[in-house]
Amino acid sequence: MDRLTSRYFTTDDLRWEQCIYHISLDWWSRLYEYPWAASFCNSDLTVLDAGCGVGHHFKFYLAQTCKEVHACDLDSCILNEKLIIDGIKESFNYDVTSLNQKINYQCCDLNQMKYPDNYFDRIFCISVLEHCEPGEVVNILTGFKRLLKTDGLIVLTFDVPTNNLLDVITQNLETLNLTLAGDLLLERPENAIYNKTWELYCFRMVLKIDQL
């Protein structure tokens, strides 16, 4: 299935202008990342939004869609319910109160997550890893593997080129005992989405535990 293919996002991919509430054009890649990540959601799943951000949309989509939702971020504001709700009301004119109450929040570094082993069906990490050093990325993926159920999926997006993430991840998969859930297309198509200001493309990747 194409949704399992790890590749660059392209302008032909599904694009959302809204995910619960309006997606700002400043979050250029989220317009494409969110609908793709959403394709991995259903009402039977226990999920984690890792590095969820305070005002970002996807944790609320998960709360609307999945059975049990956890979200974590390094920013301590993630534990301030009033700040989250008021900030989104002010910025997006939307009340997330009912959805916010369905989310189990933790403030933590992704290198030191304290969730139970083999707990999540899906771990989403949307445009986070590009902010981490290569060694941290390997450690974070090790943590994701610990938290993931045997048949679970790790759903990643990240900016390219930043910290050589494509090389860092693909070259460490065997060591991590992780594998790609589908095909890998490294060639960048002409219609790959691109941010001229930051000179960045966006890549998506789906990983699973290697059973071999």
Q: How confident is the model at residue 1 (pLDDT cuts 50, 70, 90)?
A: low
CA–CA dist 42, 47 (Å, integer): 10
**Residue entry with tokens 């509430």:** 21
Outline where 6-162 has alpha helix (H). 30-38, 58-65, 81-92, 97-100, 134-147
pLDDT, tens digit, 9 for 90 and up, residues 150-182: 999 999 999 999 788 999 999 999 999 999 999
State percent of the chain over pLDDT 90. 94
- Whose tokens are 């589908």? That residue is 182
Output the pTM of the full model.
0.97
Q: What is the CATH number of domain 2-209?
A: 3.40.50.150
Which pLDDT score is estimated for 211? 82
Sorted by where each begins, the domain ranges of the chain are: 2-209
